[in-house]
Amino acid sequence: MHTKIEGGGNISKDNKIKITKDGPYIVKNAIPLMKMKIVVNSEGDGIDWKIGKKYPLQKNIALCRCGESRNKPYCDGTHEKIDFDGTETADKSPYLDLALVYDGPTLKLTDVEEICAASRFCAPEGGTWELTERSDDPKARKLAIQQTANCPSGRLAIWENETGEEIEPELKPSLGLVEDPHKNASGPICVRGKVPIESADGFTYEIRNRVTLCRCGKSSNKPFCDASHLD
Ligand code: SF4
Ligand code: FES
What pLDDT, in 10s, does the model give residues 138-148?
999 999 999 99
For the entire predicted model, the pTM comes to 0.94
pLDDT-based confidence at residue 30 (cuts at 50, 70, 90):
confident
Average pLDDT (80-99) is 97
Please determine, for residue 6, whether its predicted confidence score (pLDDT) is greater than 60: no
One domain, residues 184 and 223 = yes
One domain, residues 225 and 179 = yes
Domain that holds residue 26: 16-92+170-230
Q: Is the CB of 117 under 6 A from ligand 1?
A: yes
Cα 32 to chain center, whole Å?
A: 15
Instruction: Output the pLDDT for position 8.
Output: 64
One domain, residues 116 and 174 = no
Number of folded domains in the chain? Answer: 2
pLDDT digits (tens, 9 = 90+) for 160-172: 999 999 999 999 9
> For residue 188, which ligand has an atom nearest its CA?
1
Which uninterrupted H or E stretch holds 131? helix 128-133
Q: Is residue 9 part of a domain?
A: no
Spatial distance between the Cα atoms of 146 and 53, rounded to a whole number of angstroms: 24
Q: Is residue 153 part of a domain?
A: yes
Question: Is residue 83 left, alpha or beta, with left meaning phi > 0 and alpha meaning psi from -120 to 50?
Answer: left
For 20-41, letters b (16+ CB in 10 Å) and e give: eebbbbbbbebbbbbbbbbebe
pLDDT digits (tens, 9 = 90+) for 64-84: 999 999 999 999 999 999 999
Q: Is residue 8 part of a domain?
A: no
Q: How far is the CA of 81 from the centre of ligand 2 (A)?
A: 9
The protein residue with its alpha carbon nearest to ligand 2, atom 2, reads: 75
